Amino acid sequence: MTGFRLTPLAESLPSTVPFVGPETQERDNGRPFRARLGANESVFGPSPKAIEAMEREAREIWKYGDSTSYDLRHALAEENGVRPENVIVGEGIDGLLGYLVRLTVTTGDHVVTSDGAYPTFNYHVAGFGGTLHKVPYVNDHEDPVSLFHKAAEVGAKLAYLANPDNPMGTWHDGETLMRAVEAHLPDGTLFVLDEAYIEFAPEGTAPQIDPDDPRVIRTRTFSKIHGMAGARVGYAIGAPELIQAFDKIRNHFGMNRAAQAGALAALRDRAYVTQVREDVAHARNRIAAIAQAHGLSCLPSATNFVAVDMGGDGALAQRFLQELGARGVFIRMPGVAPLNRCVRISCGRDADLDILDAEFGPALDAARQG
């Protein structure tokens, strides 16, 4: 009997999970985490208006969602000062990155990213047969100049950079990015600018890019400041011809109709966004104070997490992560040296950070003894 037959490319790939979720870890541990501070979700949750909108829409869930996300797409265009033709809505940034790679990359094509940057992008590139090239971080920042130089060297189809950055939380101002684009981005390379954390960043972090510029596509999400990670809503802004090309391959009914309604309500609740931004700033300060009380330093952050420098190597950071996990506190860490000298702690409520504060010292002592 003949069974299923994978493509040669799929046969050649390992089974990969870019992130082991906290639920998996809780099942393995046989108990829930006491403080969930590792996935950069917003524990502050969605706007109450978004929750109400999703509850109302639940009565209509028997219908497929609007395949064009018309209302949300037009609202996003107005919010960002672009045309609806510049906007595509999709199943989170992860889903949009998958579509983008599918559109542009095939076996033998070259793609550039930073070593240690967001791994799901790399996962998609591998899945469509691309060859991935990596450049190092410079002073804990992604470096657009070296990224674009490598793209020119290998003839890359795509060059990926997150600003603000995950996993370090660092950022470049918009003028720095635009100078790099104008001076160093090679012809034929599409700059993929991931702005998942842009709402937490200082004024001027988002570059002033013509939305019709065919050299750049920028991605954003409702998973972070809007607190809707489980709803899977993201969007991209780019040149109309590129945005229209997504219709060739995307899942046209991939967007949950309740999620569309919730995202629309969340976008309109500016007061709630302001409150979350303030709550995150407070939490960043608390995390930094907890770390500093134990003689550790933190990287400046323009995100909803803080990278804590453990003052050692990746082995020390890994032991600390495991010790905190054993005490019911879920955090993560970068996977590549020298970034992996740090752990990454998501912003939480005061109750979450009280638990972190109580367990930080014992976990650190145990990690150092290990």
Q: What is the pLDDT of residue 2?
A: 75
Residue 185 carries which DSSP code? P
CATH 3.40.50.2020 is held by the domain 48-268 = no
Q: What is the pLDDT of residues 140-175, one digit of tens each?
A: 999 999 999 999 999 999 999 999 999 999 999 999
Q: What is the pLDDT of residues 262-275, one digit of tens each?
A: 999 999 999 999 99
Q: What is the pLDDT of residues 202-250, one digit of tens each?
A: 999 999 999 999 999 999 999 999 999 999 999 999 999 999 999 999 9
Report the percentage of the chain scoring pLDDT > 90. 96
Residues of the chain within CATH 3.90.1150.10 domain(s) are: 19-45+271-369
Q: Model confidence at 1, in pLDDT bands (50, 70, 90)?
A: low
Q: What is the pLDDT of residue 175?
A: 98
Q: What is the pLDDT of residues 258-312, one digit of tens each?
A: 999 999 999 999 999 999 999 999 999 999 999 999 999 999 999 999 999 999 9
Give residue 33's identity as a one-letter amino acid code: F
Mean pLDDT of 12-39: 91
Distances in whole angstroms, Cα of residue 312 to Cα of each of 88, 301, 343:
43, 20, 11
Q: What is the pLDDT of residues 73-88, one digit of tens each?
A: 999 999 999 999 999 9
- Is the separation of the CB atoms in 67 and 81 below 8 Å? no
Residues of the chain within CATH 3.40.640.10 domain(s) are: 48-268
What count of other Cβ atoms lies within 10 Å of the Cβ of residue 254? Answer: 15
* 276 vs 281: CA distance, rounded Å: 9
* 215 vs 238: CA distance, rounded Å: 9
- Domain at 19-45+271-369, CATH from 3.40.630.10, 1.10.150.530, 3.40.50.300, 3.90.1150.10: 3.90.1150.10
